[in-house]
């Protein structure tokens, strides 16, 4: 019997959070090793575990996988969250790609100065409400199903819910003009595995704080300032 997947990353969201979400949605238990020192990171490098000298890294099925998109694609396919055919898989990839673009505006938010955070908050809300959420609103309306692709729960649904909640942390009423997305959020949040992941005490990480930022900077030796988009 294969062991639980093991995740190597910081004790915070970053690029690993979507992997946590997808494993949780699939009902898969996983272990985590948090990077807290430069020495831990260098040990992974010297041991050859980090193919491109980057985390996230996930040990799963005898592999040490890097590159977030590759990890997510593997998990989605392994646990039947990747559509029923090639066309559905293409749609899932397309919707996940768009959601990734939106998340990209949020990923580096914790590393910005206070002034740049306010600018970036406005950018995030503007991009979400004018470019991304209208697309998913229309997809859900035109598709007429409970899910983004086909008639079953997929990676695309998990990823979109994660993005919605992230944007709501920047503006709580951001879905006010999107009734389809409001219903989608309620529906997907009620999926048993997702509902469990959203409960206190789960492995879902909170909004990144100063401790997380300091740890990442120290371990990765980030001595430069991040600029807003």
| Contact between 35 and 50 (Cβ < 8 Å) | no
- Distance from the Cα of residue 8 to its chain's centroid: 15
CA distance linking residue 123 with residue 127, whole number of Å: 6
**pLDDT category, 39, cuts 50, 70, 90?**
very high
Q: Is the pLDDT of residue 28 over 70?
A: yes
Q: What is the per-residue pLDDT for 227?
A: 62
Domains of the chain: residue spans and CATH? 6-79+198-220 (3.40.30.10), 86-190 (1.20.1050.10)
CA distance linking residue 158 with residue 150, whole number of Å: 14
- Nearest residue to 123 via CA among 227, 25, 24: 227
Q: Is the pLDDT of residue 2 over 70?
A: no
| Contact between 2 and 61 (Cβ < 8 Å) | yes
Global confidence as pTM: 0.95
End-to-end, the C-alpha distance of the chain in Å comes to 46
Could you give the percent of the chain with pLDDT greater than 70? 96
Q: Which tokens in the block code for residue 67?
A: 């590159």
Average pLDDT, the chain: 95
**pLDDT category, 222, cuts 50, 70, 90?**
confident
Q: What is the per-residue pLDDT for 3?
A: 87
57 three-state secondary structure: strand
User: What is the average pLDDT across 57-77?
Assistant: 97
User: What is the average pLDDT across 115-125?
Assistant: 95
Q: What is the DSSP letter of 14?
A: G
- Nearest residue to 162 via CA among 201, 140, 142, 191: 191
Q: Is the pLDDT of residue 207 over 60?
A: yes
Half-sphere exposure of 65 (CA within 13 A, CB side): 20
> Which residues are CB-neighbours of 95 under 8 A, at least 6 positions away?
136, 139, 148, 149, 156, 159, 160
Q: What is the per-residue pLDDT for 228?
A: 61
- Nearest residue to 2 via CA among 31, 40, 33: 31
């Amino acid at each position: 019997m294969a062991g639980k997947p093991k995740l190597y990353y910081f004790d915070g969201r970053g690029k690993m959070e979507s992997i946590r979400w997808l494993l949780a949605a699939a009902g898969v238990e996983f272990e985590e090793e948090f990077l807290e020192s430069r020495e831990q990171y260098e040990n992974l490098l010297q041991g050859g575990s980090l193919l491109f000298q980057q985390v996230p890294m996930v040990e799963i099925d005898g592999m040490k996988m890097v590159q977030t998109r590759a990890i997510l694609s593997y998990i989605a396919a392994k646990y039947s969250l990747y559509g029923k055919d090639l066309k559905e898989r293409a749609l899932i990839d397309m919707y996940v790609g768009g959601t990734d673009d939106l998340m990209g505006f949020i990923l580096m938010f914790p590393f910005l100065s206070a002034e740049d955070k306010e600018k970036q908050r406005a950018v995030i809300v503007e991009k979400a409400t004018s470019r991304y959420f209208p697309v998913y609103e229309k997809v859900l309306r035109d598709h007429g199903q409970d899910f983004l692709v086909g008639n079953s729960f997929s990676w695309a649904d998990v990823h979109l819910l994660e993005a919605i909640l992230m944007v709501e942390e920047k503006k709580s009423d951001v879905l006010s003009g999107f009734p389809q997305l409001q219903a989608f959020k309620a529906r997907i949040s009620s999926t048993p595995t997702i509902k469990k992941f959203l409960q206190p005490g789960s492995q879902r990480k909170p909004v990144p704080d100063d401790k997380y930022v300091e740890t990442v900077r120290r371990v990765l030796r980030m001595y430069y300032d991040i600029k807003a988009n």
